[in-house]
Structure 1
């Protein structure tokens, strides 16, 4: 196993990760049964000899080496370390600086105490290529030392209006432009190329996950997502999203389709207010869900669930990020997604003003989320989940299911660097 300090900056490691992600019919962490069909018989187990419910060996099938490694890694974690792995924070929520632009002994101590599963960096944290590489390399090593696993190191690099690297500061990297323009070209190869381009420069800087592509269809009057989305036609957007996932994958980086089940037609901005849709399941199946189906078919490893309320599906105004009907019944069972479900930022006005930090994490995990993105108060959310597991409100088996998916992805990253 190679040094964790070197994997993100070599062309070889990028190619290796792309090859791993592209195996087994285009799936690594994600996969789908025939749509609307529950797996039966031989189909009830994955190609790696594990069952579909959290990588537990299927009856009568011996565990393969990856399952053994996952179980071994999981059993070595304390309960506190397990719960930390479920959190995905911005650096200022865990490291003692604002803004965080370096990583030293204080960062090492913080990750030893709270070895969180992922860290998402923003423009204020990224001053230039050398500073970014050095900071991220140190963070990887500190996490590896703490729990034997790298963290997911992410950024929102969509292109256009949401770009932390391209066109910014001293990186000397051009912005690839709005995805609206890519979609308008009608050329799926362009979607592939811009995604691969972003993947390559992010990998060179030390990132292993990009929170892109946007899979929302802008099919209503709201223009909140207009420049970030590939367009207004669901079929065309689906083709672009599939090409983008392939581009990120071949560029050597994990990616994330967002914002399930699709917020392109919702009125308002979830950054500041609750959003909802009155669409039925049939309407969502015909449009909003198509790009996510395509992303899953292409092997997308992460899906980000938005804060959209879908009362005609759930019967109430519970946001999708906290809804079992949306995450478990639709995304997992109906669409067959087996990768990592992550919430959108739990600091957003669409949700953060309606629930307290202590309950947010528990509700999201009960709904089916695997990772909790940027809670409004990490300490309160962490203690809330820890207490819920200790008192039996949230079963440890439930969080172990999520951890198996998380650990599997991280072991694959480590294998790609070997």
Structure 2
């Protein structure tokens, strides 16, 4: 009888204690502490922020936890999947309403950061996406041509996802000046920007063409292969990455994956000048080196330039059969994708075997081939929409809307002040689906996370 009375008093006392804490706190909560499972977003010595998808919630949520009750020790890395058990009797609703951290009794690592990276990035992308307006989402889909001194203000206004610099943007400038200009743009960005350049080597050397940055321009792919083979190619890729990263550039629009063994072809001097197998090996080595260095790579110009003319100046048609593309032109692109390339750029050539009515960059059929034949789920990017192969036939607003409808995730152009509003308006009118916009922005955000631009 005494034991039963003691147990009754203990239970009664617990009930009074629970009722005193909060009417919402039940006896079962007292004896079964609350747990949270999610991904470590950030932490310091005293607190930890967890990103998690709670049941019934429309978007990922964050919760902050008090770590002072845990034994001293190293914390898991950002992105690790963890399970947190709260101290018994914690009134989570009351503490979260007051903005106070939740007291932790136990922290368990369920999945290390490396293994959990893809899931963590996916959830973080959803969190970022949920906080964006339609205008901000569309802005993320533009890789805008660097507008010079107006760049920080334009970035503040339009929030484009990336900017690409050309030779004029490096001319007569010191490395410190270039870094300062890029940093000013990044400071205006609510989501860190992709900062790109064409540094192929040979004819296209936007950065190393400035003697204040490098004594001489990087050599062409053909020169590298002739003088040192694939070892020289790989070493050159690493050197380019180091130089570009020192200037705060995080994307190089390379490697060129086009095939040409005819010196009369427009694209020939920018290619390896070798066969499909050698060019595929070249693409694999360059893209692999860039991936290991944390430098964004852009495979170009899908589905393969071949004998096509200069689309900077005019329309160009390619009448080769589909079998040629499948057996030859696709090989370097496939090798680059398998080596970790984050983006593929689509040309403005009309590929008659795939779509005789549209430039590849504006063709849904070509984009379907890229997704399916190469099993590619990264960022698809247009060639510059200001090239005359496009401007002679399409207005800026029409071209941008058609580019998104075709399946591009990002648009390369300097006319973003016309094109961003045109895409936004097309979504509002129902011409374009916001679900498609969201899918593209997810890919852009995933690419940025892979490059370490977005950490928390």
Q: TM-score range by the shorter chain?
A: 0.7 to 0.9
Q: Please point out which of 377, 391, 396 is paired with 1:338.
A: 377
- Would the aligned equivalents of 2:347 and 2:361 in 1 still touch at CA under 8 Å? yes
Shift of 1:221: 6.4
Residue 351 of structure 1 corresponds to which residue in structure 2? 390
Partner of 2:340: 299
- The question of 1:241 aligning with 2:241 is answered no
2:257 matched residue in structure 1: 215
2-structure distance, mates of 1:281, 1:350: 22
In the TM superposition, what is the alpha-carbon distance from 1:224 to its structure 2 partner?
A: 1.5
Q: Secondary structure of 1:313's partner? A: coil
Residues 116 and 242 (structure 1 numbering): CA distance in 2 closer, same or farther, change over 3 Å? same
| Equivalent in 296, 319, 322 of residue 359 of structure 2 | 319
- The C-alpha deviation readout for 1:360-397, integer Å capped at 9, x for no partner, is 1111111110000015x322212211111001110000
Partner of 2:321: 280
Seen in structure 2, the aligned counterparts of structure 1 residues 313 and 415 have a Cα distance that, compared at 3 Å, is closer
3-state SS, counterpart of residue 312 of structure 1 = coil
Task: State which of 247, 256, 274 in structure 2 corresponds to 1:205.
Answer: 247
- Separation in 2, partners of 1:48, 1:230: 38
CA distance in 1, matches of 2:229, 2:455: 33
Q: Deviations over 1:249-305 (max 9, x none)?
A: 233311111000010322x21110111211121111111111001111111101000
Pair 1:134 & 2:180 matched = yes
Deviates more, 1:251-260 or 1:167-176: 167-176
Cα shift at 1:220? 4.8
Report the more deviating stretch, 246-255 or 296-305: 246-255
* Structure 1 residue 417 displacement after superposition: 7.3
Task: Tell me the TM-score normalised to structure 1 length.
Answer: 0.77
Given that 1:203 and 1:252 are in contact with CA atoms closer than 8 Å, whether structure 2 keeps it comes out as no
Q: Classify the secondary structure of the residue corresponding to 2:451.
A: helix
- Structure 2 residue ranges without an equivalent (≥5): 1-40, 43-114
For structure 1, which runs of at least 5 residues remain unmatched after alignment?
3-46, 51-63, 93-99
CA distance in 2, matches of 1:236, 1:367: 31
Q: Find the aligned partners of 1:122 and 1:273 in 2 and give their Cα distance.
A: 21
Cα distance 1:113–1:181, how it changes in 2: closer, same or farther (>3 A)? Answer: same
Contact 1:263 1:306 in 2 (8 A): yes
Given that 1:196 and 1:250 are in contact with CA atoms closer than 8 Å, whether structure 2 keeps it comes out as: no
Distance in 2 (CA, whole Å) between partners of 1:118 and 1:322 is 20
Answer yes or no: is the 8 Å Cα contact 2:192–2:453 preserved in 1: no
1:232 deviates by 3.3
Residue 391 (structure 1) aligned to one of 429, 434, 451: 429
Which stretch has the larger CA shift, 362-371 or 185-194?
185-194
Distance 2:455 2:120 in 1: 18
Whether the 8 Å CA contact 1:200–1:252 is kept in 2: the answer is no
Indicate the SS of the match to 1:158: strand
Measured after TM superposition, the shift of residue 110 of structure 1 is 2.5
TM-score, with length taken from structure 2 = 0.71
2: distance between equivalents of 1:286 and 1:374? 32
* Structure 2 residue corresponding to 1:191, chosen from 230, 233, 240: 233
1:159 equivalent to 2:201? Answer: yes
The 8 Å contact of residues 196 and 249 in structure 1, kept in 2 or not, is answered as: no
Shift of 1:112: 2.2
| 2:262 and 2:268 in contact (8 A); partners too | no
| Length, aligned pairs only | 342
Q: Does 1:117 align with 2:161?
A: yes
In terms of fraction of residues, the more strand-rich structure is: 2
Question: What's the Cα RMSD here?
Answer: 2.1
Pick the aligned partner of 2:219 from 177, 193, 197: 177
- Compute the displacement of 1:48 (Å): 6.3
Tell me how far apart the structure 2 counterparts of residues 48 and 353 of structure 1 sit (CA, whole Å). Answer: 48
Separation of aligned partners in 1, 2:389 and 2:151: 31
How big is each residue's C-alpha offset from its partner over 1:172-231, in whole Å with a ceiling of 9 and x where there is no partner? 343221112223457222211111111110000110000011000014564312221012
CA distance in 2, matches of 1:253, 1:136: 16
Greater length-normalized contact order (CA 8 Å, ≥ 6 residues apart): 1
